[in-house]
């Protein structure tokens, strides 16, 4: 069934049982689907995300993770509001682009792609600009794999009584985070990331009291977060428009497998071990990591090209022939490539990857 392992940040390698869960058809009007699957997912997502689930709610939204980021920014931020975006990679910058499309009052605070977001700079900006109402940041910036200091960022944002929006696309389900403890108001992720489902929808976990205030704010019909949530609440899991039923059912299976593994802490431990095996092996072969260890997430790891003659396409093709698919780099400052550590992949898979790379080097 598997032509190769996807060592990417999503879509990623899924279990055979997640794939099998997509083999049945579901009626979007039937209670077996809406109540038995969608509502269960919504409830369990909130429980997974925070220690005070009664304060939060979950909305599922068709499309990619970026659809959900756009739905959130476009449905939560009013014309009179002011948004501060802290950006140290492509996905932080994308929030700024969305803000431009929606003509939001927005300032993008730019950091180097290899630099973690600096909480002190956020604090200085908030002190100088009391008009800011919302702050958004990416938790794990997939551009490089850098893990931004979300605890300190959240502390500062809450100290200034701002609404905090977190893009946790590549971290939720694989890196421990408690929305309630940190004061995160909206957190966004996708089915095909650390929970190890397949692409087709994303989700927003929101502070209920704030989402209730968002009626009529959205500039888009399809991406109206409030309307989607209200329909799911009143319809007990009903989506406004056709939902990706097979993908949703697969996600429920993936959620079950996360629980069976031991939850987020256990999955984080496996991803961290995947990363450790990968980095030690790659360094033994002469490759250097882009980021310092203290800024590196266990989600995806960037490596410099080993020399000026290195041909990534040739390297990629040879690795694919040996059963491994990796990712090109995405930064402008250096020639890099990336290897994902998430999905249904394990330390032995990375030991085999290192052996395959060693064989390629000897050719």
Q: Please tell me the predicted confidence (pLDDT) of residue 3.
A: 85
Same domain, residue pair 201 and 320: no
Q: Please tell me the predicted confidence (pLDDT) of residue 333.
A: 80
Q: Which residues are annotated as a binding site for substrate?
A: 338
Q: Which strands, in side-by-side order, build the sheet including 163-167?
A: 56-62, 201-207, 186-190, 163-167, 134-138, 82-87, 105-110
Same domain, residue pair 243 and 188: yes
Structure tokens given for 31: 């209670």
Give the whole-angstrom CA distance, residue 91 versus residue 95.
Answer: 7
Same domain, residue pair 357 and 220: no
Q: Please tell me the predicted confidence (pLDDT) of residue 178.
A: 98
Query: 216, 235, 259 — which closes off a domain?
Result: 259
Structure tokens given for 72: 């959130």
Contacts with 168 (C-beta within 8 Å, 6 or more apart), sequence order: 139, 140, 177, 187, 188, 189
Across the chain, which has 363 residues, the per-10-residue mean pLDDT values are 85 96 94 97 98 98 97 98 97 97 98 95 98 98 94 98 98 97 98 97 98 97 98 97 97 98 98 98 97 93 95 96 93 90 97 97 86
Tokens 């090209």 belong to which residue?
A: 305
Structure tokens given for 27: 């009626």
Structure tokens given for 11: 């879509």
Same domain, residue pair 156 and 24: yes
Same domain, residue pair 207 and 336: no
Q: Which residues are annotated as a binding site?
A: 338
Structure tokens given for 112: 């180097």
Residue 104 near residue 85, CB atoms below 8 Å = no
Same domain, residue pair 118 and 163: yes
Measured at the alpha carbon of residue 229, what is the angle toward residues 195 and 20, in degrees to the nearest 5? 35
- Model-level pTM? 0.96
Same domain, residue pair 233 and 287: no
Give the whole-angstrom CA distance, residue 357 versus residue 360.
Answer: 5
User: pLDDT tens digits, residue range 40-59?
Assistant: 999 999 999 999 999 999 99
Q: Please tell me the predicted confidence (pLDDT) of residue 293.
A: 93
Same domain, residue pair 211 and 329: no
What count of residues does the chain have?
A: 363
Same domain, residue pair 271 and 252: no
E strand or H helix that includes residue 304: strand 300-304
Q: Please tell me the predicted confidence (pLDDT) of residue 261.
A: 98
Same domain, residue pair 272 and 320: yes
Q: Please tell me the predicted confidence (pLDDT) of residue 192.
A: 97
Assign residue 168 the CATH number of its domain: 3.40.640.10
Query: 217, 241, 259 — which closes off a domain?
Result: 259
Q: Please tell me the predicted confidence (pLDDT) of residue 272.
A: 97
Q: Please tell me the predicted confidence (pLDDT) of residue 2.
A: 67
Alpha helices for the chain (secondary structure H): 16-20, 31-33, 39-49, 65-76, 90-101, 119-128, 150-159, 179-182, 208-211, 225-234, 245-261, 263-284, 312-321, 347-362
Structure tokens given for 36: 């038995």
Domain that holds residue 43: 18-259
- Count: domains in the chain: 2
Same domain, residue pair 307 and 222: no
Query: 234, 259, 284 — which closes off a domain?
Result: 259
User: pLDDT tens digits, residue range 219-263?
Assistant: 999 999 999 999 999 999 999 999 999 999 999 999 999 999 999
Give the whole-angstrom CA distance, residue 114 versus residue 146.
Answer: 7
Q: Is the peptide bond before 11 cis (omega within 30 degrees of 0)?
A: yes
């Amino acid at each position: 069934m598997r032509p190769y392992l996807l060592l990417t940040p999503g879509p990623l390698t899924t279990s055979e049982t997640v794939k099998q869960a997509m083999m049945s058809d579901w009626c979007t009007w039937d209670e077996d689907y809406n109540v038995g699957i969608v509502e269960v997912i919504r409830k369990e997502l909130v429980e997974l995300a925070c220690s005070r689930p009664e304060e939060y709610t979950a909305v599922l939204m068709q499309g990619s993770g970026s659809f959900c980021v756009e739905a959130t920014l476009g449905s939560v931020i009013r014309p009179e509001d002011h948004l501060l975006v802290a950006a140290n990679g492509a996905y932080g910058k994308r929030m700024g682009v969305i803000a431009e499309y929606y003509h939001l009052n927005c300032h993008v605070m730019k950091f180097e792609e290899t630099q973690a977001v600096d909480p002190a700079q956020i604090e200085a900006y908030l002190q100088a600009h009391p008009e800011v109402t919302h702050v958004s940041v990416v938790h794990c910036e997939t551009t490089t794999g850098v893990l931004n200091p979300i605890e300190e960022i959240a502390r500062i944002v809450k100290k200034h009584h701002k609404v905090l929006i977190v893009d946790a696309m590549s971290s939720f389900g694989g890196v421990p985070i408690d929305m309630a403890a940190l004061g995160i108001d909206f957190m966004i992720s996708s089915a095909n990331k650390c929970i190890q489902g397949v692409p087709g929808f994303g989700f927003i976990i929101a502070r209920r009291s704030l989402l209730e205030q968002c009626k009529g704010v959205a500039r888009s019909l399809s991406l109206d977060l409030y309307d989607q949530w209200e329909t799911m609440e009143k319809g007990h899991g009903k989506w406004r428009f056709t939902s990706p039923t097979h993908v949703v059912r697969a996600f429920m299976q993936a959620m079950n497998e996360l629980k069976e593994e031991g939850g987020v802490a256990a999955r984080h431990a496996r991803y961290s071990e995947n990363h450790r095996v990968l980095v030690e092996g790659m360094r033994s072969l002469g490759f250097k990591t882009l980021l310092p260890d203290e800024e590196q997430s266990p989600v995806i790891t960037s490596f410099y090209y080993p020399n000026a003659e290195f041909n990534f396409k040739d390297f990629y093709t040879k690795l694919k022939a040996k059963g491994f698919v990796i990712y090109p780099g995405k930064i402008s400052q250096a020639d890099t490539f990336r290897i994902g550590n998430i999905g249904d992949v394990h330390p032995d898979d990375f030991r085999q990857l290192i052996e395959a790379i060693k064989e390629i080097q000897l050719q």
